[in-house]
A and B are shown apart, each in its own frame.
Chain A
Amino acid sequence: MNARTIRFTLNGAPASAEIGTHQSLVEVLQQRFDLFGARESCAQGLCGCCTVLVDGTAVSGCLFLAVFADGAQVETVEYLGAGERLDPVQQAFIEAGAFQCGFCTPGFVLMTRQLLDENPDPSDAEIGHYLSGNLCRCGTYPQIVEAVRLAAKKRKA
């Protein structure tokens, strides 16, 4: 195994870890930092369950090699709800009942935030297009669209 030490910023705090160069970011987040909000499901970057922000951009943590996080700013869903107050997107997901089993929810929450950063007032078609890389087997999509609309309103308020 090729080992390497990476140093990066994780959820606002400095972090380092000795990792295998073959290890994915999601694996390192789980095994070394006990962060389980990003989770592997399809392992092909197709379902969005492993979504993590690297330097502010959403990536599939199951395909993103941890070595590439060296020097980067990494944020996970845990960073959002860390304080007493939830992020408006999280709050909107709760109010709209936009999840069932919850396994895909962190990915949807992170992508919705990124969507609203880029486009504060998306149409339903734009929501559908932007979130088409996230899958929800419980089929909670109508409620997710509702949550995104609600989150957009909350962020403007």
Chain B
Amino acid sequence: MTTTISPGGQVGRSVPRLEARAKVTGRAEYVHNLRLPGMLYGKIFRSRTAHGRIRRLDVAAARAMDGVHSVITAEDVRRVIPDPYYGPAFHDQPILAIDKVRYVGEPVAVVLAADPHIAEAAAHLIVAEYDELPAVFDEREAMTSTAIVHEVLRPAGTFPDLKHLEGRTNTNIALDFHLRQGDVDAAFASAEQVFEHTFQTQQVLHVPLEPFVSLADATPSSVTIHTASQSPSFVRIEIARLLRWPENRVRVKTLHLGGGFGAKLYIKLEALVVALSLLARRPVKVALSMEEQFYTITKHASTFRIKSAVAKDGRVTARHCEVLWNGGAYADIGPRVTQKSGFTAAGPYDIPAVSIDSYALYTNLPPAGALRGFGIPQLVWAYESHTDLIARALAIDPLTFRRKNLLRNGRPQATGTIMRDAEIEAVLERLAARLDWNRPFDRGAGAVKRGRGIAIGFKASIAPTTSIASVAIHADGSCTLSCGTVDMGQGSDTAMAQIVAEVLNLEAEAIAVIHPDTDVTPYDMATLGSRSTYHMGNAVRLAAEDARDKIAALAASLGLPPGSNLSLAELFRRKYGMQAGTIIGTGSFIPSYSPPDHSTGLTENATPFWMIGATGVELEVDTETGHVRVTRLVNVADAGRAINPRIVETQLSGAAIMQLGFTLFERMNFDKGQVTNASLADYKIPGMHDLPLAIESEFVPAEQQGGPFGAKGVGESATFGVSPAIANAIHDAVGVRLTALPLTPEAVYRAIRAAAGDPLGEE
């Protein structure tokens, strides 16, 4: 790992997390811990039908139970929020189901009680009856199904590329994104060889160990929402819209988050708790159980058909990608995944002709949104498995084949945007060097075969949006940073403090960072898509520089010569005659960006920066059981210049371990739309025993122009290559190709038996 310490000594230093002591002593503050006087708990009664009209909803028995404050239905909600539909891309999600339900687990009613056990017991007494409607679960079927999840499409109006969908009926397509670069048909017609494969990913879950929790304290004229949210500014705007109130009457506060991973984005429980608190005229807290997380937000299942034209010399001359994203019953941010990630579906390769069709689809499953990679891991899974298959078919070494086709700086990506500061080549070469790719590889003995594989992926910054920060210098010279970036474990508080400290020549540990509070911290679009280091990092740097300039102006106003080393406290004292005063520096940042053309998907400026991640795997396959044991997992990334090397490294290994679960065993199982494994007993996430024998993480020397001190985002990069690298290594070991995740022992064993001409029976 290369570490560059800056002149101030703060950027590039592995500062321990500012909240480290609070976290190891159990005293870190989470919304989970919060109680308010007079507070009620809400427990949700949920749909047991995947798609149906609500014929009868009987809450009488629940309402009559001792200790129940009230039972709230959609009808009640409408008394305080007349048009109770929310969502970042579509206003399609009702606070409580209205007229019909669209997935098993959809909230239908809420019981309020001072004792959460009573609320829960009463919720079991609610009875609902439905007239069942035909349901659709599979994304391929949703393209043409006569089962329609939403009668009319209601785009939110926030995103220009969704406007054409307004009022559409009789469709489950929530967004169609198309990209056309070069003459794809001609390239396929003249190709030496054409390869076509279809890959699938499964629906999985974020599983933050702190389940969703929101608490609202409303009065008729104002509301404070305490919520474990990655996007407090968005919550404020959305709640203000729903209530038709100005933003300044809605206050949204967060504390530390016990994990987010994209789950706690946009708006989840917040509109519900606001409605409940307005109706009850008391504070209301809704804290979901682990099971309920399975009914709230998930990661898209997907089907990706990819087809490549290859010339005699092994160059890929054209590629067609068709990606179907299973968005579940409500759009959440799925349409953005479809477009923002869709445009990189052809991979980090220099391909002259590319066509991409990417579709967001409604189905009758729990909604899907963003999960650590915003669709990119699904895409890399397909294009890097495909790349490996082509290389094998052409009998070219997979590393050589990638080198031949790699997208290099100065060349146009499929959108037409010229690649800059994207260390794709350096990342691939560093991975190859670490794996010692040219040395002979031990293939194992007996029933246990060994194999190795590589994969590389890239991601655009999906949200070139606004971040604003302010830095306050107090009269004793100490410093407070106000920024809306939510520290959900990624270490942003610490990294932002390092940026302030670097500019102001202070120790990072001495900077206080305020938890997001929309009454105090300025606007920030959200903590998502690895955008914060770059966007908020720039805003924070600008705010600190503004404060620094104001300090200099203060010194000058006192007649001090430039460079005078009077302490800040003394400056304030001379100015105000006592320990008094505040200097406030502000910074606002939005990068330049050109949205893609609606019909061609082309743009000269698709993203302010690119994230690159590659993974190499060495593994063993037990041919008698199908069990895969990863013996070595190597992750290499381009993180720009690391603000905090230790935290960057932890982000890389953590992301890869999370993706390891999505690769080898995690899968939500369904029976007619009902999740059948909604608990940690049945849905396994990686534990100590699932770790590879060796896990190595590294970032290459890099500098992101326009990034704060050359830095850029890194939280998702190590997820990109894990799944295909493992599938490629399994193929290398035992000669079978798996095209659907997860790569369970059963799936591997079935493939081995099928390849041997002795297939097992149906599952």
Contact = CB atoms under 8 A, between A and B. Distances in A.
A38 interface: yes
Interface in A67-104: 76-78, 80-82, 86, 90, 93-95, 97, 99-104
Does more than half of chain A's interface fall in helix, strand or loop, or is it mixed? loop
What's the interface size class on A, roughly? 35 or more
Contacts of A137: 206-209, 259, 261, 658, 685
Contact of B24 (A81, A132, A133): A81
Contacts of B289: 43
A78 B650 contact: no
Contact of A86 (B25, B256, B654, B695): B25
Interface in B257-282: 257-261
B650 A36 contact: no
A67 to B, nearest CB: 15
- Could you say which of A49, A78, A135, A139 has the most chain B C-beta atoms within 10 Å of its C-beta? A139
Interface in A24-45: 30-31, 35-39, 41-44
A104 B209 contact: yes
Interface stretch (B90-98, B474-482, B486-494, B588-596): B486-494
Contacts of A41: 209-211, 258, 290
Nearest to A76: B26
B23 interface: yes
A95 B681 CA distance: 32
Contacts of A47: 209, 680
B633 to A, nearest CB: 10
Closest 8 CB pairs of A and B: A37-B26, A101-B489, A139-B657, A103-B258, A102-B23, A81-B25, A100-B489, A139-B654
A139 B23 contact: no
B686 interface: yes
A141 interface: yes
26 contacts: A36-B32, A36-B33, A37-B27, A39-B210, A42-B681, A43-B290, A44-B681, A46-B681, A77-B24, A78-B25, A81-B25, A81-B26, A90-B24, A99-B24, A99-B489, A101-B208, A101-B259, A102-B256, A104-B209, A105-B23, A106-B26, A128-B691, A135-B680, A137-B261, A137-B658, A142-B695
Contacts of A128: 688-689, 691
Given A135-B209, A139-B658, A142-B691, A100 B680 contact: no
A94 B208 contact: no
Interface string A37-68: 11101111011010000000000000000000
B20 interface: yes
Interface string A124-157: 0001110111111111111101000000000000
B209 A140 contact: no
Contacts of B260: 101
B653 A101 contact: no
Interface in B10-67: 14, 16-17, 19-28, 30, 32-33, 35
A142 B28 contact: no
A47 B211 CA distance: 13
Contacts of A19: none
A135 B687 contact: yes
B498 to A, nearest CB: 14
B356 interface: no
A98 to B, nearest CB: 9
A101 B691 contact: no
- Could you say which of A49, A90, A137 has the most chain B C-beta atoms within 10 Å of its C-beta? A137
A148 to B, nearest CB: 11
Contacts of A20: 117
A36 B685 CA distance: 24
B593 to A, nearest CB: 30
B655 A139 contact: yes
Interface of B: 14, 16-17, 19-28, 30, 32-33, 35, 117, 206-211, 256-261, 289-290, 488-491, 646-647, 650-651, 653-658, 679-681, 685-689, 691, 695
A119 B153 CA distance: 62
A11 B14 CA distance: 34
A142 B653 contact: yes
Given A103-B209, A132-B687, A42 B32 contact: no
Given A37-B26, A80-B25, A101-B489, 15 more contacts: A81-B27, A86-B21, A95-B16, A97-B14, A99-B20, A101-B258, A103-B208, A104-B209, A128-B689, A129-B689, A134-B687, A138-B489, A140-B654, A141-B657, A142-B695
A22 interface: yes
B683 to A, nearest CB: 10
Contacts of A78: 25-27
A141 B207 contact: no
A85 to B, nearest CB: 11
Contact of B258 (A81, A102, A142): A102
Contacts of B211: 41
Contacts of B20: 94, 99
A136 B208 CA distance: 9
B117 A22 contact: yes
Contacts of B25: 37, 77-78, 80-82, 86, 90
A42 B654 contact: no
Given A109-B24, A128-B689, A101 B680 contact: no
B256 A101 contact: yes
B609 to A, nearest CB: 23
A90 B35 CA distance: 28
A49 B26 CA distance: 11
B24 A36 contact: no
Contacts of B117: 20, 22
B650 A100 contact: yes
A22 B256 CA distance: 30
Contact of B30 (A36, A76, A139, A142): A36
Contacts of B654: 100, 138-140
Given A22-B117, A46-B680, A102-B489, A97 B27 contact: no
Contacts of B23: 99, 102, 105
Contacts of B19: 102
A123 to B, nearest CB: 13
B210 A103 contact: yes
- Could you say which of B117, B259, B655, B689 has the most chain A C-beta atoms within 10 Å of its C-beta? B259
B688 A49 contact: no
A135 B685 contact: yes
Contacts of A127: 688
B184 to A, nearest CB: 39
- Could you say which of B488, B679, B687, B689 has the most chain A C-beta atoms within 10 Å of its C-beta? B687
Nearest to B691: A141
A120 to B, nearest CB: 19
B678 to A, nearest CB: 11
A119 to B, nearest CB: 15
Contacts of B653: 139-140, 142-143
Nearest to B680: A42
Nearest to B261: A137
A90 B691 CA distance: 23
A57 B146 CA distance: 58
Contact of A141 (B24, B647, B688): B688
A101 B655 CA distance: 13
Contacts of B688: 127-129, 131-132, 134, 141, 145
B523 to A, nearest CB: 24
Nearest to A127: B688
Contacts of B679: 42, 44
Contacts of A131: 688
Nearest to A80: B25
Contacts of B687: 132-135, 141
Contacts of A139: 653-658, 686
